Chains A and B, each alone.
Chain A
């Protein structure tokens, strides 16, 4: 297996040994990224529990915009397959969803199931910019998406009225048999997501309408249920005091690095995600599929689930966790097995003890 320590190619044992010595002396380690299969995410939580690390994910901004709104007002959601099969009106909120394959599919097909079967599908745009050229009707939302969604909700409630583009959008959604509000939580933000959910509930007074959040290349949709069944909490938990503590502000790894609170990071990206800028500024171990020597202090190449080896991943289409067999099997180790080895070695090495003069 391919491994590097400080940029120099080495064997697996040496790399694991270097990772163990880096983590063993860490006061506040972090396991970040978590773009991997379910077995690796489980192994990451297990390791975090043993070494008192905290956890953060690659797509945490969007995940917490979703979870924050969900925890307060709930959500009324659909799946991509249902949207493609049933929706006769789709409001695309913001610019990001227009770049997904789902919008292309929605624009090229018609509903085939349910009350709207056989009808035409109207694509509507809110704040899409140039991306939303295909939309049947649109409203630019120049003063922010969250504000524009609030306006739509005010029209749906009947608190605002008039012959405006917003009134037309709401009328089209109200007239639809099965409406879908498609959005990117990271782009819309927690306040906007909460407002959008309330807007969907408002539309459900007269017709059927659901929200559908697009997900990024990260595996946050898999991390949320795994974190829930392993800790009872959302992803950003820390195990410094032995019990899992959930604190989305304290365990934001970018904030922790900027504040100098982190002294070791494990970057887990068995599926490729964008590498964060802060990774270079902290002692790090990278478990990645697309490995390169300069990525971190210790780099260990792991198999990519669904390609090099099988694994359970988030299935965007079915909106469920499903098993993906290896399409081109290799002998690269799984991220879960590397994390398991690290855990065993760190447990026998003994965790860091209390430093006598702490200050």
Chain B
């Protein structure tokens, strides 16, 4: 297991796009320490801020992380990264496979455009988790994003495929959703604003837009399959499906093929 240990708070935002187990496995210690990770004209190299210990394996641990670390695990395609501490924006953005775990909090746009693999945030996530960055076609796009704590506003904005689990979420959860599944124990106001397709499963919600209509209670095979797939990830979320569920269809402002399941 390779390890990067933060020695002191970084003086500027760092970009970890090119720091992953696969890239580090081909480098010597000195080469890895010289990797550019800074984002200002002064610049910072990996060895300036981190103690580097490499063993060529497919797992990487980042110890004592900081909220200025952007794009940790972005474009990860295999192996595992474990971060002890917080990270900045775009955690696992565009990730294609592997596993990414953060023990602290994540900044905005976690899991943006991620097509595969599993991202787990044990603390809170910022706004637009699983959401799309500026001008991107889609947010989460096939990966699994698990947020144990609280997610900010616009959770799963424009998500297209994949699964998001969150403890609590802010306003506009599942906004402009194209497809996919989002489950949260509670969400804020206007869940599913402008959603086209996709499934929201919530324990409770804030104000529901009048462009969602109740379509009654249903006993669908899909819900049993969903419960089965959630059970392996979070028993709390799977338990939502054991409660009586009301189904809302919407957003009627769009093609209205989305649904919100509310556990009562």
Question: Which A residues lie at the B interface, using CB under 8 A?
Answer: 27-28, 51-52, 64, 67-68, 71-72, 143-144, 146-147, 150-151, 153-154, 157, 159-160, 191, 194-195, 198-199, 234, 238-242, 245-250, 259, 261, 351-355, 357-359
Instruction: For the complex, give the distance between the alpha carbons of A92 and B121 in Å.
Output: 43
Instruction: For the complex, give the distance between the alpha carbons of A67 and B45 in Å.
Output: 34
CB distance from A178 to the nearest CB of B (A): 24
Within 8 Å CB of A160, what residues of B? Answer: 210-211, 252
* Interface status of B215 (Cβ within 8 A of chain A): no
Given contacts A143-B207, A160-B210, A191-B175, 4 further A-B contacts (CB under 8 A): A52-B41, A199-B253, A261-B68, A358-B11
- Contact of A154 (CB < 8 Å), options: B9, B38, B252: B252
The answer on a CB contact under 8 Å between A195 and B253 is: yes
The answer on a CB contact under 8 Å between A249 and B194 is: no
The answer on a CB contact under 8 Å between A248 and B134 is: yes
The answer on a CB contact under 8 Å between A359 and B39 is: no
The answer on a CB contact under 8 Å between B12 and A261 is: yes
Which residue of B is nearest A355, CB measured?
B42
Within 8 Å CB of B68, what residues of A? Answer: 259, 261
CB distance from A65 to the nearest CB of B (A): 12
* Interface status of B70 (Cβ within 8 A of chain A): yes
Instruction: For the complex, give the distance between the alpha carbons of A151 and B254 in Å.
Output: 10
The answer on a CB contact under 8 Å between A194 and B194 is: yes
Instruction: For the complex, give the distance between the alpha carbons of A41 and B42 in Å.
Output: 25
Given contacts A160-B211, A249-B109, contact A359 B44 (CB under 8 A): yes
CB within 8 Å of A: which of B41-74? 41-45, 48-49, 68, 70
The answer on a CB contact under 8 Å between B48 and A250 is: no
Within 8 Å CB of B1, what residues of A? Answer: none
Within 8 Å CB of A359, what residues of B? Answer: 7-11, 44, 48-49
The answer on a CB contact under 8 Å between A261 and B13 is: yes
The answer on a CB contact under 8 Å between A151 and B207 is: no
15 A-B pairs with C-beta separation under 8 A: A51-B41, A68-B134, A146-B193, A147-B209, A147-B210, A150-B211, A151-B211, A159-B211, A234-B134, A248-B134, A249-B89, A250-B13, A250-B39, A358-B38, A359-B9
* Interface status of B197 (Cβ within 8 A of chain A): no
Within 8 Å CB of A27, what residues of B? Answer: 11-12, 40-42
CB distance from A168 to the nearest CB of B (A): 16
* Interface status of B108 (Cβ within 8 A of chain A): yes
The contact string, 1 if C-beta is below 8 Å from chain A, for chain B 237-264, is: 0000000000000011110100000000
Give the secondary structure class of A's interface.
loop
CB distance from B112 to the nearest CB of A (A): 11
Within 8 Å CB of A357, what residues of B? Answer: 48
Instruction: For the complex, give the distance between the alpha carbons of A114 and B252 in Å.
Output: 34
The contact string, 1 if C-beta is below 8 Å from chain A, for chain B 109-151, is: 1000000000000000000000000110000000000000000
- Contact of B43 (CB < 8 Å), options: A51, A67, A146, A354: A354
Within 8 Å CB of B9, what residues of A? Answer: 359
* Interface status of B176 (Cβ within 8 A of chain A): yes
CB distance from A80 to the nearest CB of B (A): 27
CB distance from A240 to the nearest CB of B (A): 4
The answer on a CB contact under 8 Å between B256 and A159 is: yes
The contact string, 1 if C-beta is below 8 Å from chain A, for chain B 175-207, is: 110000000000001100110000000000001
Within 8 Å CB of B49, what residues of A? Answer: 358-359
The answer on a CB contact under 8 Å between A354 and B70 is: no
Given contacts A191-B172, A240-B39, contact A159 B44 (CB under 8 A): no
The answer on a CB contact under 8 Å between B12 and A150 is: no
Given contacts A261-B13, A358-B45, A359-B49, contact A150 B40 (CB under 8 A): no
Given contacts A27-B40, A52-B41, A249-B89, contact A144 B190 (CB under 8 A): yes
The answer on a CB contact under 8 Å between B39 and A241 is: yes
Instruction: For the complex, give the distance between the alpha carbons of A180 and B199 in Å.
Output: 35
Within 8 Å CB of A245, what residues of B? Answer: 39
Within 8 Å CB of A194, what residues of B? Answer: 176, 194
CB within 8 Å of A: which of B1-29? 7-13
Instruction: For the complex, give the distance between the alpha carbons of A352 and B40 in Å.
Output: 10
Instruction: For the complex, give the distance between the alpha carbons of A72 and B189 in Å.
Output: 23
The answer on a CB contact under 8 Å between B108 and A150 is: no
Instruction: For the complex, give the distance between the alpha carbons of A354 and B42 in Å.
Output: 5
Within 8 Å CB of A191, what residues of B? Answer: 172, 175-176, 193-194
Within 8 Å CB of A239, what residues of B? Answer: 41
CB distance from B186 to the nearest CB of A (A): 19
The answer on a CB contact under 8 Å between B41 and A250 is: no
Within 8 Å CB of A353, what residues of B? Answer: 42
Instruction: For the complex, give the distance between the alpha carbons of A354 and B37 in Å.
Output: 13
Within 8 Å CB of A68, what residues of B? Answer: 134-135
The answer on a CB contact under 8 Å between A146 and B42 is: no
Instruction: For the complex, give the distance between the alpha carbons of A28 and B44 in Å.
Output: 13
Within 8 Å CB of A250, what residues of B? Answer: 13, 39, 70, 89
- Contact of A240 (CB < 8 Å), options: B41, B70, B134, B253: B41
